[in-house]
Structures are given as structure tokens and as C-alpha cells.
Amino acid sequence: MPLGRKTYDGSLVRRGTGDSEWGNPIANKIAVNESVTTKRTKNVKSRLKTDDTFFQEEHDKDRYLITYADLITLLLGLFIILYTISNIDAGKYKEVMNAFGSVFSTQKSVQGLGSKNQLFSGNANSSRTLHETLQSVIDEYNYGENVQLIENERGITIRILDNILFNTGEAELNPDSKSILSKLAKVLRTIPNDIRIEGHTDNVPINTDKYPSNWHLSVARATNTAYYLMNTEGLMPERVTIVGYAEYKPIASNDTAEGRAQNRRVDIIILKRYN
């Protein structure tokens, strides 16, 4: 049997294409390059995707610092505002408390300010000095029968009976009353205390065109006394308050003429003041 070399015509390879590529080195090279390129591209894309995810996670992890910094800034601003509006002005606080004391006819020491109720007279910080000064004025001009000094928890009251201030059923000041008020005002101007002026009557009814009731009369008497002290004697208006009590704050019985005379009065009260 003769020996002969078998040849392979490539008919068993890629029959479906109609072309034989087994012996085609160019086609084989292209196929190999395409395969390698595809695998390499997939690897690079996979690596880039992984790296991108890594960087994105790192960035998201630090985002809370921006929110945290904004929150701290806002809180700092809030605390500054709260501190500013809560800073108490001691001077204004005292003025407010003095105003309340004038309204309610009493003043109480305020804890926390380290203050104590005390009256001022010139440079001496004592009610005794003020009391003695006023009493010396009363004694010097012989006002003792009609002007009295009373000291209590409210302060010092200068009690002036109406017989030297007003005519019966009237609220206009007499010439003598102006002289008394002028001498007292010299002392009142030297102290910083608030002044409360109270008008009082007896219980005898009054009904005139000018004063329909004792309320009207008592308020008018207190008002005219205050206006004289402010407009003529220079007392500061912000220190003065005016009250009318009519017959409802008697200091004596209204059953007798003497008692009624005691009840018809004007009280000038030097209110206690905080240091």
C-alpha cells in the first residue's frame, strides 16, 4: 500500500461560515486580539467601577461634617442672642420695682440684688436724718398742730390737715398752704425717693357741680398739691404719684367733728427706696 501524506483541507472547521479559517493566520490573529481586548476592557471597566464606588463612599462618609458645622454655628448664634436679652440691667430693674411699690403702697426688698430698703437724706443714708430734718422744719415754723410725721413700713408720711391747705369743700390751695409746701419741698428736692400724694376726706357727702362726690374732691386736692410741688417747687414729675381715697381711709372716727377734721387731710409719703 503506497504511503501518501494526508492533507487536511479544513472542511471540518467552521463549516457554518462557508470559509475555512484554520489555515488563515490573519483571521486567527484578529480573533485572538479581539478576545484579549475584550477581556482586558472588562477588567479595566470592572476596576474603574470598583474605584469609583470607593471614592464615592469616602465622599459620602464626610458629608455629615458640613451639617454638623452648620448646626454648631446656629447654636452659637442662638446662645449669644439668649445671653444678650437675658442680661439684667440692675438700674432699670430697681426703677421698675420702685414703680410697683408706688402702685401698691409698699416696697419689699428684692433678693439677689444685695439691696436693702433705706431712705436717703442729702449725703446721709438714714431715715433718722431725714425724719429729723423734716421735724426741724415743722418746729421752726410752728406747724406742729397741723403737720405730723409718721414713719412706717412704707416710708415717712408728712400728714397735712386740710384746714391749712383748703377751704371747706374746695380743692384750691390757700396762700398759707403754699408757704408750708414750699418749705417742705426744699427737703424733698434733696432726696431721690419717689413721692406719693394721697387725698382724703371725711364721710360727709358732697355734691356740687365741680365735685360730685368725695372721690372727686380727694383726687382734686391731691392733684393740686402735686402740681404745685412739680410746677412751682421743681419736684420731678416722674417721682410723683397721685391717689384719691375719699372717706375710705379714715384715721379717726367720723362720728365726731374732731375725728372728721383728722380725716380731712393730704398725706405726702416719701416712699422707701432701694440702695
Task: Dump pLDDT digits (tens) for 99-145.
Answer: 555 444 433 333 333 334 445 544 444 578 888 999 999 999 999 88
Alpha helices per DSSP H over the chain: 25-61, 64-86, 90-104, 127-140, 175-188, 214-227, 257-263
pLDDT at 83: 76
Predicted structure pTM score:
0.57
C-alpha cell at position 152: 412706717
Q: Cell 431712705 identifies what position?
A: 119
| Type of residue at 196 | R
Residue 163: closest CA among 260, 250, 41: 260
Task: Dump pLDDT digits (tens) for 181-216.
Answer: 999 999 999 898 999 999 999 999 999 999 999 999
Section 170-176 average pLDDT: 90
Burial of 261 by CB count in 10 Å (0-12 exposed, 13-18 middle, 19+ buried)?
A: middle
30: phi then psi, degrees, rounded to nearest 5: -65, -40
Q: Count CA atoms within 13 Å of residue 7 on its CB side.
A: 2
For 184-200, b/e burial (b = at least 16 CB within 10 A) is bbebbeebebbbbbbbb
Rounded to the nearest integer, the mean pLDDT of the chain is 76
